[in-house]
Amino acid sequence: MPLTSQHVTGFAIGIGVAAVGFYVYKQNEHAVDDWLRQRGIELPSPSARDYGTLSLEELVLEKERLEDMIAERELAAQETGSQPSPESAMPSEG
pLDDT along the chain (94 residues), means of 10: 92 97 93 90 74 87 93 92 58 50
At residue 86, the pLDDT reads 58
Query: Residue 39 and residue 34: Cα distance in Å, rounded?
Result: 9
Q: Helices in the chain by DSSP H: which ranges?
A: 5-27, 29-38, 56-80, 86-89
pTM, 2 dp: 0.44
At residue 94, the pLDDT reads 44
